[in-house]
Structure 1
């Protein structure tokens, strides 16, 4: 029954990474004693890493179970027609204590052919950045495959990459094929297609505790790279209070910026679930049969069957996502 559904919260899936740190614990209140937590998977239907509901009467059930049971009541009719019993988005927080590897993601066609997976179009919203922190996005000049391979083999790849110094609120759209990396000192929210396919092309000659370098994927990457020099990746958006300000709209998701103060009434006309990621402050979501609190560093999934709700808040910042 649709009226039995309510906003779902999930247990974060914390991932240790060689480049991870402690900001997920210190800034976003994630429960970890590790000093190298790099990622918190907030909503995931990746095989082997399925999110588990942490609130309400479905507590303990997985996102996969709820999707199999509720189908279009959870994700919407059109989404269920397209994606079937696969949740289409993966939501993460990422803490880069050190530079991440330089990488890219394949498009849907390559990912399906090689990995039986979706491609991985994604976006980043910077939540906090240490002074002087950078993101790498794309090239700083026109690059041919031959020039790229020369720099790759000479270990001078960074000479042809574009570095952007960033601050909180900066937003980037990372299309498939675009070379990119998150730099040391950046904490961000990532919204992406449900895929864990990454082609790592350079890892700063880094080794793990056993002295091993991480695997690179340069044979796969060369056919997947977009060598076009584009300057369309930094997202410009408004921050008008108490209304959805569109940040990104693409074939895979729409993301809006919300800065709410008071009571915000929201009707869902999108035939889609809606996700809210709290990046600052605290809010309460009022549905007909429930109240759900949402604090900084938390994420909530509102089923498509819930057609109207209200959010009460005092100067809260949310990212609103739907398909």
Structure 2
């Protein structure tokens, strides 16, 4: 007689999963995660809301439905292919490959960069950190720093760093709501003050900080810089980080497709049937408005600032509402 261990199987089918946000206080953070995205922050310097994460010490916990209280790693361990999809599981095993955030930059972030996969693996036993930004809100005259104005070199970079004139080498780009940027590893960058961003990235928390505007914390201490680690990780060539795109209503249109993730935008004004063609999970980030997700006989509601993980086994559903939605797969 066969005996099945039903304790490891869900009592109900998998469903769209949402998670408790993980808030991160930052020296540059503010309060827009509350005033703009309705997040229940309590600090006046909350810089980040980690929406979907398996970074150690910051693992997302389900806040809806049958699996409420379980963390994402636990669910993936029990149902790897059902959640991740065979394609993702075959490539990454049980490791969730992406990290999703909302960021509020009340002040300029540090000027920084991230190492590629090879350096990150060798130095930190981590993925590299390719990331993308979708600008959700930008104050007047807000700007980003992305890459060099002209091709540079290790020697030129170090000379300007030593003379405290590094900013003269870097390119500032004015931004507005809806702008999209792809930050490949090695690209020097900084989010400027007055910007709220949705960020999609590889699962990594490795950052090399090279300049922090000479600011100090409440104890008079500056944050650590990573000058030596950064030198070999920098891309000294110019980069075309800003991505132009079309956005027809009620269609899923690519805005960033790279080796690590594919992000489409859905300007929803009515209805859209989503049929997933690839065997992978899907994540929806609502950057504006609100919508309903209809799945069989169930209805789920989401609003600005919500992030939802659609397990791979859920291959067809209806979106209905008026919203701007980012749709991300691997």
TM-score when normalising by structure 1: 0.98
Name segments (4+ residues, structure 1) moved above 6 Å. none
Q: Is the 8 A contact 1:42 1:91 kept in 2?
A: yes
Residues 171-204 of structure 1 deviation map (CA, whole Å, 9 limit, x = unaligned): 1000000000000111100000000000000001
**SS of corresponding position for 2:260:** coil
Q: Partner residue of 1:73? A: 82
Q: Tell me the distance in 2 between the aligned counterparts of 1:290 and 1:137.
A: 43
Which structure 1 segments of 5+ residues have no match? none
Q: Which of 246, 258, 283 in structure 1 is aligned with 2:291?
A: 283
Cα shift at 1:289: 5.2
* Pairing 1:121-200 to 2, within 5 Å after superposition: 121-200=130-209
**Is 1:14 aligned to 2:23, yes or no?**
yes
Name the TM-score, length of structure 2 as normaliser: 0.96
For 2:252, the equivalent position in structure 1 comes to 244
Cα offset for 1:85?
A: 1.4
* Partner residue, 1:211: 220
Give the match's secondary structure for 2:64.
coil
Q: Secondary structure at the match of 1:309?
A: strand
Cα-Cα RMSD: 1.0
Q: Report whether the alignment pairs 1:105 with 2:142.
A: no
Q: Deviations over 1:103-156 (max 9, x none)?
A: 000000000000000000000000001100110000012211111001101111
Q: Is the 8 A contact 2:150 2:237 kept in 1?
A: no
Q: Contact 2:98–2:203 at 8 Å: present in 1 too?
A: yes
1:6–1:289 Cα contact (<8 Å) kept: no
Contact 1:6 1:290 (8 Å CA) reproduced = no
Paired position in structure 2 for 1:272: 280
Question: 1:31 offset after TM fit, Å?
Answer: 0.2
Is 1:320–2:327 an aligned residue pair? yes
Q: What displacement does 1:288 show?
A: 2.2
Gaps of 5+ in 2: 1-8
